[in-house]
Amino acid sequence: MEDPNDPVSTFKKAVDKGSEAQQEIMKQFSSLQQNAMQNFFSTLQGLIYYNAMFKTTVQSGGRISIPEAERQALDIEDGDLVQVIIIPIERRRPKDSLRK
């Protein structure tokens, strides 16, 4: 039978509880990371397999064109409403012409 006033026993119990709490936190963190990665890959898969990804150049008036192959693959015709996500990848203008 353990003595409840024994400082070594009390310290050991505290260390054990701390270790258990750390293990639980790591399990929860790993689960969150795994869920985030699954969501990321699921979203990426949707972008790749169900939509088109292509590069295009911004034309005068801010116009962009959807390449013919993508329009055909997705059955996009004049007047169709589409969702566009813009990710700038390269600037083709002199640095001194940037707006301030």
How do residues 38-76 score in pLDDT, each as one tens digit? 888 877 766 666 667 788 889 999 999 999 988 998 899
- 15: domain range? 1-50
pTM of the model: 0.42
The verdict on 43 and 59 lying in the same domain is no
Whole-Å CA distances, 32 to 27, 35, 45, 68:
9, 5, 20, 41
Alpha helices in the chain (DSSP H): 7-50, 68-73
The verdict on 9 and 43 lying in the same domain is yes
Contact 43, 35 (CB under 8 A): no
The verdict on 10 and 44 lying in the same domain is yes
Among all chains, which residue has been given the structure tokens 């301030």? 100
Count of structural domains within the chain: 2
- The answer to whether residue 17 sits within a structural domain is yes
Structure tokens at 75: 């059955």
The string of pLDDT tens digits covering residues 66-79 is: 999 889 988 999 99
The verdict on 34 and 71 lying in the same domain is no
The verdict on 27 and 62 lying in the same domain is no
